[in-house]
Amino acid sequence: MTLAGADRRDAFTALAGRYLARLARYCAKCTGSPRAGEELAQDVLLEIWNQRHAYRSSGRFRTWLFTLARSRCLNHLRAERRRGLWLLRPRGPGDEHHAPEAPLAPDQIDRLLAAEQARQVRQALLGLSTKLREAVLLRFDQGLDYAEIGRIVGAPEVTVRSRVFLALKQLRAAVGGREDSP
């Protein structure tokens, strides 16, 4: 980022290449929309490019990046709610369920079951409150530690740990149908 701050486009291109997919995935899961996730990730990278001269390397770049992404996602969700477009399950390509025409092989059944479980987890994730969803996504999807998540969301580490615990408890209840899953 220091090189990008010195107007090195090649350095910024490398930085964007390193983080774009992770950022888009995080934003898509926060908003429930892959399209919005891609747009928000690009907006964040554009904002970083525009602020490249003001960047100070006193903190971790990744923390700054996900702080900006979190802010963009929250703004997007607020705007969607205001417009009345907030849906629990967005529709997109591949959402249609077609009955198979031939019997499924065991590996096809395994893939089908895995896809259904992933769909249930995505649905349950969207059912979490914003604070719980962002904590669990930053922890498990992005692999950040609790202290770094705390800096991103502006909460003490103990609060972040509590949010992750509650999110996992609610996800287990929603997907497994009970709260006391191991």
CA angle 127, 169, 162 (to 5 degrees): 100
Tell me: pLDDT of 31 over 60: yes
The pTM of this model reads 0.60
Which of 53-67, 116-130, 164-178 is predicted with the least confidence, judged by mean pLDDT?
A: 53-67
Give tens-digit pLDDT for 36-87.
Answer: 999 999 999 999 888 887 777 666 888 888 999 999 999 988 888 776 643 4
Task: Compute the average pLDDT of residues 96-122.
Answer: 66
Task: Compute the average pLDDT of residues 138-161.
Answer: 93
The Cα–Cα gap between 27 and 124 comes to 16
Angle of the 106-127 helix axis to the 157-176 helix axis, nearest 10: 130
For residues 106 and 148, the answer to whether their CB atoms sit within 8 Å is no
Phi-psi bin for 33: left (phi > 0), alpha (psi -120 to 50), beta? Answer: beta
Sign of torsion over alpha carbons 22, 160, 31, 178? positive
Percent of the chain with pLDDT over 70: 81
Report how far Cα 37 is from the mean position of its chain's Cα atoms. 8
Better pLDDT: 78 or 105: 78
Residue 153, Cβ neighbours under 10 Å: how many? 19
**Radius of gyration of the chain measured on its C-alpha atoms:** 19
The Cα–Cα gap between 164 and 23 comes to 20
Which of 55, 53, 32, 56 shows the shortest CA–CA distance to 130? 32
The Cα–Cα gap between 100 and 166 comes to 38
Q: Which two tokens stand for residue 109?
A: 């059944």
